[in-house]
Amino acid sequence: MRNLFIIITALIALTSCDLVDFDVDYGVFPECEMELDKHEVCVMVGDTFSIYPIFTPDTLPNREVFYYSEPEGLLSFDSELFTAINEGNTWLSEISVKQRLQDSCRVSVMKPWAVDADKDYPYDMVFYADVDFVGEDFDFEPENMIVGAFVDGECRGLGVMRNAHGIDYIELRVGSEVGYVVGDVEYDDEDDEPVEYMQERVTLKVFDRKRHKVYTYKKVFDFDGETHGTLSNLLVMRF
């Protein structure tokens, strides 16, 4: 009995010295990890997407997380869906409320691909293409895939799915303002100074809305005003 009294007295003394804190929850938690199902996402303004945390082990009782992005103002969140609202790059982070685990995803928000309707391009080149997308059948629907042609980052053409004689193909028309001859020289009417136009370079891209990725075709084309590919000999584009 005397020993028990000594132990209780010692605990009271330690508590008064803040060496023992009975308010702390010393519950034992299993070692666990959290990882997001995506670490890089590319979307267009107006697109929605989801990112989910994966916990290990998957038997954890509390999987509640909260989100924040830095910089702010590019994404909105509602009902487990993120919506891209402004162009730019941001880091989206999720933090586990219970275990304080954290992981991040880089989100790139592009403006929607569209050809400037106010521009009437006097020249064009055309691609008739069979698109082979990462070894899978090409699921060309606007809500799934977009094929675009770009000159210095400006969208100059969008692919359209066609079918002729049972053959599916992509028709892609690319517009240009300056023609296709390197060093083509014209004269300004005001001061008769020569104006030299350089040949434009065309980059082809595919935006995969399902995977939230942009793929760039390995070959860059010089704008030449010609047709590339025919129905009997389609230009094969492998992304």
Q: Is it the case that residue 1 has pLDDT exceeding 80? A: no
Measured CA to CA, the distance from residue 60 to residue 191 in angstroms comes to: 77
**Nearest-CA neighbor of 140 among 38, 237, 50?**
237
The predicted structure's pLDDT at residue 132:
81
The predicted structure's pLDDT at residue 237:
87
Measured CA to CA, the distance from residue 173 to residue 87 in angstroms comes to: 26
* Cβ-Cβ contacts under 8 Å for 208 (sequence gap 6 or more): 133, 144, 145, 214, 215
Residues 183 and 189: beta-carbon distance below 8 Å? no
**Nearest-CA neighbor of 108 among 90, 83, 134, 135?**
90
The predicted structure's pLDDT at residue 205:
95
101-147 pLDDT, tens digit per residue, is 899 999 999 999 999 989 989 999 999 999 887 666 666 676 788 99
The predicted structure's pLDDT at residue 217:
93
Least confident interval from 8-17, 50-59, 183-192: 8-17
Q: Is it the case that residue 12 has pLDDT exceeding 70? A: no
Strand 184-187 with 194-197, pairing: antiparallel
Strand 81-84 with 75-78, pairing: antiparallel
Q: Is it the case that residue 182 has pLDDT exceeding 60? A: no
Return the sign of the alpha-carbon dihedral for residues 88, 89, 90, 92. Answer: positive
Measured CA to CA, the distance from residue 75 to residue 84 in angstroms comes to: 5
The predicted structure's pLDDT at residue 26:
38
48-101 pLDDT, tens digit per residue, is 999 999 988 877 777 788 888 999 999 999 877 999 999 999 999 999 877 678
User: Tokens for 21?
Assistant: 């804190």
